[in-house]
Structure 1
Amino acid sequence: MDDATARARLQIMLAELDRSIGVLRGDPAAVRDRSAADAGLDLTDAERHQVMLDVASRQRVAVLAALKRLEEGVYGRCLDCGKPVPEGRLEARPEAARCVQCQSKRERRR
């Protein structure tokens, strides 16, 4: 994926995450502007609500980190082994910081 495409996809993801986080936090502007796809965010269970907010916040951090890697010229390189992250992985997860093998090792250690 070229840098311009990656940057555009990451910026769209960031805007969507910011909108979702705003809805989850009860920001009136975000609630007013949400789409039909966001209608499922009317949560009544406080724990589920918090989990969704945590997940969106973590993903937002990952997107910001990917944008930083783009600026630094290291986007698409695995943070652990330094090898290129496969194109298909970046297509599916533009914020991916690791190749599949290194990500799997990381998840097994948790």
Structure 2
Amino acid sequence: MTADLFDRASDAEQAFRDNAIKRQLDRVVEQPRTDSAGSRCCLDCSDPIPQARLVAVPHAVRCFGCQAIKEPR
């Protein structure tokens, strides 16, 4: 009986992991936008993304302000 309980818990945990991986693989990856000078610009406000943000988050496609609006905590 205890083994069955552990098996079900293990199966549920594996299903959770599989779903999390699938969500990551299925997500839309936004492509960065650059201006004529080659600077990366925010997808929402079109302002240049500060270099400090790109150092901290190399894959950033939004400035800090726009990202904070898109992803409220």
TM bucket by the smaller chain?
0.5 to 0.7
1:61 corresponding residue in structure 2 = 29
Aligned to 1:48: 17
- Kindly state the Cα deviation for residue 53 of structure 1 after the two structures are TM-superposed: 3.1
Alignment of 1:28-39 (within 5 A): none
Q: CA deviation at 1:99?
A: 0.4
Q: What is the aligned-residue identity percentage?
A: 36
**What displacement does 1:57 show?**
4.1
1:82 to 46, 49, 52: 46
Matched with 1:7 is none
Matched residue, 2:4: none
Q: Larger % of helix: which?
A: 1
- 5+ unaligned residues in a row in structure 1: which ranges? 1-43
Q: What SS does the aligned partner of 2:29 have? A: helix
Cα-to-partner distance string for 1:18-51 (whole Å, 9 max, x where unaligned): xxxxxxxxxxxxxxxxxxxxxxxxxx61222221
**2-side partners of 1:56 and 1:88: how far apart?**
28
TM-score (norm 1): 0.41
Deviations 1:70-110 (A, max 9, x none): 5x7565111111211111221232221110011101123xx
Mapped partners of 2:39, 2:20: distance in 1: 29
In 1, Cα distance between equivalents of 2:46 and 2:71: 18
Aligned residues: 60
Q: Which has the higher strand share?
A: 2
Larger radius of gyration: 2
